[in-house]
Amino acid sequence: MTCEPNRVRLLCMLSLTFAFFIVEVVVSRMTSSLSMLSDSFHMLSDVIALVVALVAVRFAEKTHATDKNTFGWIRAEVMGALVNGLFLTALCFTIVLEAVERFTEPHEIETPLVVAGVGAAGLLINLLGLCLFRGHAGGGHGHSHGGHSHGNKNKRGKTGKSQKAGNGSSGEETNNLVASHNSPGDARPRNEISSTDSADVQMNGSPHFEEMEHDAASQLNMRGVFLHVLGDALGSVIVVVNSLIFTFVWQPCGKEEMCVNPCINSHISDHQHVNHTLVNLLEGTTMSAMKYAGPCWVLYLDPTLCIIMVCILLYTTYPLLKESALILLQTVPKQINMNRLNQRLLGLEGVLAIHELHIWQLAGSRIIATAHIKCHDPTSYMEVAKRIKDFFHDEGIHATTIQPEFVTFNSESRDSLCELSCRTQCAPKLCCGSADKPNAGSDKKASSYCKAASASGLEVIVETPEQAAGVEAGTRSEAAITVAREVESSL
Amino acid sequence: MLPLSVKDDEYKPAKFNLLLKLSGWFRSILADKTSRNLFFFLCLNLSFAFVELSYGIWSNSLGLISDSFHMFFDCTALLAGLAASVISRWRSNDSFSYGYVRAEVLAGFVNGLFLIFTAFFIFSEGVERALEPPDVHHDRLLPVSVAGLLVNLVGIFVSSHGHSHSLFNGSVNHGHAHGGHEPESKHGGHGHSHDGHAGHGHSHDGHAGHGHSHDGNGGHGDSHSHGESVLLHIIADTLGSVGVIISALLMQKYDLMIADPICSMLISLLIGVSVVPLLRESIGILMQRTPPSLDQALPECYQRVQQLQGVYNLQDPHFWTLCTDVYIGTIKLLVAPDADRRWILSQTHNVFTQAGVRQLYVQIDTAAM
């Protein structure tokens, strides 16, 4: 399966990171360095992010419908991406917290060389991870995986617009990696080049459709992992840079010599004593015996770099969060224009009116649409249905459910108020519009039934008289529906 | 005919009046009971955090400063819940055909996740402290923990009265987590400033409220019954606060410093465990799972629909929850060519309306003869 490379990558990275976490904990115990311990917890959070992504990939492989999950588990990857994005945001917050602490109470690194060594090892591992996941971040940018990328490019060609937004932000990430600390503004011209490159490679053929859906969804997940590993890599870079500067620039206070550390505002009780000594020495002529600990700005380098890193991370995580949250909020996919779709549907032969058109994205490129279509009579319905299905297929929506409603020219009874879709419970929640046009014929039983159900404790929408009447032209029905919507909204 | 009057203001484009928008949001927050409570709690938390911050800066205590940052973090969780309550009432538009009602579910999920992060964070802090015990000043710990217990009891009453449908009551309890804190100042340190042992106690106590909020949603017909889960949560919460008090006593009497990290680790485990039902429910909704309350009712409905005259088969049923108590379903029916489609449609809708699914899309396919 196409997901195998993903899983193998994730497992690889997971085992590496976990091993490194163990190493860091052991080293921190041996050198009793607290910063190493807290860095190891960062590694642990990386492990957790990878586990989340792995679980999501594992679940999303089961695309078949189960009893409880009729859509399968495809959404798991979107959830995995959201969880990873949120996790990153929470981590950024804790990093900011620690940085602020360091600002107010700076302290020096005890054994900078050991820290530098471990930091370099961590950086190596993270760079390896970045290379592993780089292909995914760029949306199949890497050419290293044969059939996998074929499916990717195919998808890009077919639903080019849908991936453009995804491409834009993920292209930024690869540019971030390549040009390591360039500002994202610089990356924009290269962005354009990368997207036209990929659009040029147009392969056709739709047999890879399932792979396409899967790839599109799993890309979101892998992007989350990539961002996490990127954050960790940046952290390791900061650790290495800081400890190197510390080794070469900082002159520490040795224990035997009499020296004072002017940078650290310690609360120890011999503060007064030190002050006195300082004052005495300053008054004295011989200053050579006194040593001062190294330049103070070195101590503030660490938190400053951390805050810069947090800004970079937040900037790159925001698109991921936004995209996955929008999918979970049942938004209409970006490439679909509801108005235009509506008008084109109305333009189809045999379609009188459309109600309750809902289009939403399950995951990746799998889009689901539902609608009520009003047409003349059951005999013409079959052709109309076929036309509508083809229309949706052209738009890229392959899972549609169309409910037919038939128009008759008999007089409709007034009391058939609540009809095929009594959505009375929605009124206070504002999740939907008004009910449909009433249906004809043998609805006396239906309406009384409906009324009984609605009388049992739910609020009933009072329909506007126009709707109860029955046969209307499409435009008028739309107007009535929008009027009812306006009435219901409380804002 | 010449116009008799010219009304220019009809043709002015709508100005983006920020003040108007804000007051509109304000009104909608105050309208609903739950969001009103949430808003007051947010104000309480924010003021507490500011007081702590200023006190910490004034007394130059790192512990207080970082604890106030934690409270700000909790306030963001509360803010997320509040934002969700405003957003979910917006009208549906072209980009959101169902409206924004899912925002509540998402906010509940996000709050549950943040609770888990907090639990993880407290756990890691506990581990760090166990390995390298810092100097904990426990003089004021006991009265502070008792005060925290009282504050959280208030929170329980507050959230138990608001029977909301929203899942974001979890955020109320998250807010409890660091509320009513009064951390001691720390000396010397490696900057592990979260004194808040009392804080850990609080973060656990908040969950009784969580239990109530969960039952407010229990209209879904959860597997737990109402009384049972409430009892469970209350027991867990009292255990948590008793644990804090016991460890405070241990430290005072026997100088057993290890009690502090062990207590916080236990509490973080309890938080994690108690937030699991909330997470499961919101994950189920976000994954488009069949609504749990319909699990028994749906097969019967399928039976009844298949027994209608002219219906051969029912295919492809998909039922999912949009937000609490709003279910949406799509099914496909295979019918005979001479069947009365209108009648089948209305009957199917009736069957499912009885089950509680009001938005239903029935596609009718004619079987090829």
* A90, A433, A485: residue with CB nearest B117: A90
Phi-psi domain of A244 (left: phi exceeds 0; alpha: psi -120 through 50; beta: other): alpha
Checking if the pLDDT of A455 tops 50, the result is no
**Helical segments of B11-101, H only:** 18-31, 33-59, 62-87
Contact B28 A69 (CB under 8 A): no
Candidate from B117, B286, B361 with C-beta closest to A79: B286
Residues of B in contact with A75 (CB under 8 A): 286-288
Please indicate whether, in this complex, the C-beta atoms of A338 and B189 are within 8 angstroms of each other: no
C-alpha distance from A421 to closest chain B C-alpha (Å): 6
Q: What number is the average pLDDT over the span A294-311?
A: 81
Phi, psi of B196 (to 5 degrees): -30, 65
Phi, psi of A292 (to 5 degrees): -110, 140
| CA atoms within a 13 Å half-sphere pointing along the CA-CB vector of B364 | 31
Query: Measured between alpha carbons, how far apart are the two ends of chain A, in Å?
Result: 50
Interface predicted TM-score (ipTM) of this complex, two decimals: 0.71
Chain A interface disruption, residue of B346, B350, B365, most A CBs within 10 A: B346
DSSP lists the bridge partners of residue A401 as A370
CA distance A479 to chain B (A): 15
Which residues in A lie closer than 8 A to residue B131 (C-beta atoms)?
29, 37
Place B29 in a pLDDT band, splitting at 50, 70 and 90. Answer: confident
Summarize pLDDT for A12-43 with one digit per residue, the tens: 888 988 998 888 888 877 776 666 676 777 78
Record the tokens describing residue B189, joined without a space.
């340190």
For A358, the closest chain B residue by CA position comes to B97
Instruction: Show residues of chain A in contact with B343, CB under 8 Å.
Output: 441-442
Strongest mean pLDDT among A124-128, A282-286, A463-467: A124-128
The two tokens of residue A36 are 């190493």
CB A401 within 8 A of CB A363: no
Residues of chain A contacting residue B124, judged by C-beta atoms under 8 Å apart = 41, 44
Subunit contact A403:B319, Cβ cutoff 8 A: no
Minimum CA–CA partner of B165 in chain A: A429
Strands A366-375 and A399-406, how do they pair?
Answer: parallel
CB pairs under 8 A between A and B: 213
pLDDT the model gives residue A158: 37
A348 φ, ψ to 5°? -70, 150
Q: For B83-103, what is the mean pLDDT?
A: 82
Q: A488: nearest CA in chain B?
A: B91
Q: Chain A closest CA to B256's CA: distance in Å?
A: 22
CB distance A332–B100 less than 8 Å?
A: no
State how far the Cα of B91 lies from the Cα of B102, in Å rounded to an integer: 12
Question: What number of residues does chain A have?
Answer: 491
Is the pLDDT confidence value at B199 over 50? no
Distance from the Cα of B2 to chain A's closest Cα (Å) equals: 30
Hey, is A459 helix, strand or coil? coil
B358 contact residues in A (CB cutoff 8 A): 421-426
What are the chain B neighbours of A100 within 8 Å (beta carbons)?
A: 65-66, 69
Distance CA B56, CA A237 (A): 33
For B321-369, give the DSSP string. Answer: EEETTEEEEEEEEEE-TTS-HHHHHHHHHHHHHHHT--EEEEEEEEPP-
SS3 A464: coil
Nearest CB neighbour to B113, from listed A69, A83, A432: A83
What local confidence, expressed as pLDDT, does residue A441 receive? 34
Query: Closest by alpha carbon to B349, among B307, B306, B305, B310?
Result: B305
Give the position of tokens 């609805």. Answer: A443
Specify the amino acid at residue A329.
L
**In which band, very low, low, confident or very high, does the pLDDT at B309 lie, cut at 50, 70 and 90?**
confident
Q: Is the pLDDT of residue B224 over 80?
A: no
CA nearest neighbour of A247 among A124, A120, A116: A116
The pair phi, psi for residue A157, each rounded to 5°, is -65, -40
Q: What does the alpha-carbon distance between residue B23 and residue B39 come to, in Å, rounded to a whole number?
A: 14
Phi-psi sector, A457: left (phi>0), alpha (psi -120 to 50), beta: left
For residue A454, pLDDT beyond 60: no
Asked if pLDDT for residue A89 goes beyond 80, the answer is yes
Answer whether residue A416 shows pLDDT above 70.
no
B286 shares contact with chain A (CB less than 8 Å)? yes
Give the CA angle between residues B341, B343, B344 to the nearest 5°.
Answer: 65
Cβ proximity of B126 and B201 under 8 Å: no
**Which amino acid would we find at residue A270?**
D
- Chain B CB contacts of A102 below 8 Å: 191
Chain B, 62 to 81: residues with Cβ < 8 Å from chain A are 62, 65-66, 69-70, 73
DSSP-assigned states of every residue in B226-286 = HHHHHHHHHHHHHHHHHHHHHHHHHHHHH--TTHHHHHHHHHHHHHHHHHHHHHHHHHHHH
pLDDT above 70: residue B227:
no
Residue A140 has a pLDDT of: 38
Tell me if chain B has a CB within 8 Å of the CB of A39.
Answer: no
In tens, the pLDDT along A375-406 reads 877 777 888 888 888 888 988 888 888 888 87
Of A101, A425, A453, the CB nearest to B191: A101
DSSP assignment string, A199-251: HH-----STTHHHHHHHHHHHHHHHHHHHHHHHHHHHHHHHHHHHHHHHHH--
CA dist A417 and A410 (Å) reads 16
- CB pair distance less than 8 Å for A101 and B62: yes
Average pLDDT, chain B: 69
Asked if A29 and B286 come within 8 Å (Cβ–Cβ), the reply is no
Residue B166, pLDDT score: 38
